[in-house]
Each structure stands twice: as C-alpha cells, then as structure tokens.
Structure 1
C-alpha cells in the first residue's frame, strides 16, 4: 500500500533554479534529486552544485509512514521521520531532542511532472527560514 503511494515520487528530478525561491542562502546553480524504492524503504539522493561551484552529494533513507529513525552520525539532528500527507505530499522531518528543526514537504503536481520541495529550517530562538525548490521530472 505504501509502495503504491511512493511510486509517483520515484525517479530523477532536476532543479528549476529560476522557479525556486530561497530565504536562506543562495539557490544552487544546479541540483538533482533521485528517489528510489528499496523494498519499501525510500532512498533520497541529492547532488547539488552551489552558486560558488562547490559540489555536495547527500543521501538518506527512511520508511514512509514508518517509525522515527534514530541518527547517530550527525550532530545537528538525532532523528528523522518520513510521512505521507495525503497522496501527493511526502514530508520528512529532521528532529533534535524531540523538536522538529528541519522539515521538507515534497508536493507532487497533479500531472506528476513537477515536485515542489518546501524546506523549512527552524533556528531555535532565532527565526525560521523557508526555501522552495521546484524540480522537474527528468525524461
């Protein structure tokens, strides 16, 4: 059941930098997001070229609508969860000490060709920042 909900999100997505809006930091020159299904586990792989040319590769995996995953390697966050919010929105929350400090909502367009990722970062006692990245499905 969960795999069927995940299926429309699977594939390679390419950042449309002109359509994206960043409150924190500069939009990257280019970025790709790959979402794969590994026996019900969602694997996210992000590759990005920053405005200054620095290349970043990152990945994480989580079970959609599964239990919170404890993270040990990062000092910034200690847990992650991935949940569906309806059929067209997949939300990940990075948590520290039980508080959500970063949330990414991935909303799929009606036609399944555009993925809008709204990432909200909560800086404790400072402010919240929202970056909206628009991705187009790779052909």
Structure 2
C-alpha cells in the first residue's frame, strides 16, 4: 500500500475508533480470567498519539484504571512501565482494524486486535499473549459505542 493510502486509512480509522465504549460482558469470552463486571474503554486522538483509557470493575467489586498512549505507525516505542513491557507498536491494518503488540525481552507478550463492526457501533477486542507464568491465552471482549 502506498503512503497516501496508509494516511487515508489512518485518518478514517482514527475518527471511527474515538469515543467511549461500554463492555458487553455477556457477549465476551475469556480463556484466561473472567470478563469484567463492567468496563468503559475510551479512545481519544492527541496529536500523533492515540490515548486509550480503560476503567473496569472486576466480579469481586475491585476497580482498576489503565491509560496507554500509542503512535499508530507500526514502529516500536518504549513502553511507560518497563516492568510490564519493553516496547509497544500500534498500527491500523484497515479502515476498521487497529492492532497493538507489546514486547518484553524481544518476544511478543501481548497482541490486541480491535475491530469495528460495519456500522461502527460495536468493537471486538481480541487479545492473545502469555501470562507472567508463561500460560498462553486468547480473550475476546465485545464493546458497544456509547452515544455521547
């Protein structure tokens, strides 16, 4: 794909992904762990970066937050917390697909594919990787776009 096509796909994709997404736990499937009781997934463009914030409540009532920044150009960049990962890369692989890969010691630790439905109202996040103990897994989370 030529550079112009990449820029067009990236621009269109960013707008489609931005917003707030609510987890549909009853439609999600986890090989490792369990889907959250509830979760909000927020994507916002900040310059060249995408800010992805997640807030979730586990089944036991504990709440968590995580925020990550990605430059969706396919390059590897240092990760904010080297205890978790050394580098991360992100790229749009189509109008409705955003992929991220986290690396630790040169190996893939976590891969996530975010795919939008044709109408842009649902996002499926498929994560695969390995736990700190080396167990491989694949989890699927389904989100619905929140009307703001």
**Contact 1:12/1:33 (<8 A) preserved:** yes
Matched, 1:47 2:55: yes
**Contact 2:20/2:145 (<8 A) preserved:** yes
- Which of 17, 30, 48 is matched with 1:9 structurally? 17
| 1:9-48 → structure 2 map (5 Å cutoff) | 9-48=17-56
3-state SS of the aligned residue for 2:94?
coil
CA distance in 2: counterparts of 1:30 and 1:21, whole angstroms: 14
CA distance in 2: counterparts of 1:51 and 1:108, whole angstroms: 26
Which structure's residues are more often helix, by fraction? Answer: 2
**Contact 1:93/1:103 (<8 A) preserved:** yes
In the alignment of these two chains, the number of paired residues is 139
- Which of 91, 99, 103 is matched with 1:95 structurally? 103
Task: State the 1:3 CA deviation.
Answer: 3.1
Give me the TM-score of the superposition, normalised by structure 1: 0.93
CA RMSD of aligned residues (A): 1.6
Task: State the 1:37 CA deviation.
Answer: 0.3
3-state SS of the aligned residue for 1:3?
helix
Q: Extract structure 1 runs of 4+ deviating beyond 3 A.
A: 123-127
Q: Structure 1 residues 126 and 66, CA, compared in 2 at 3 Å: closer, same or farther? A: closer
**Contact 1:3/1:40 (<8 A) preserved:** no
Which structure 2 residue ranges, 5 or more long, are not aligned? 1-6
Which residue of 1 is the match for residue 66 of structure 2? 58
**Contact 2:13/2:97 (<8 A) preserved:** no
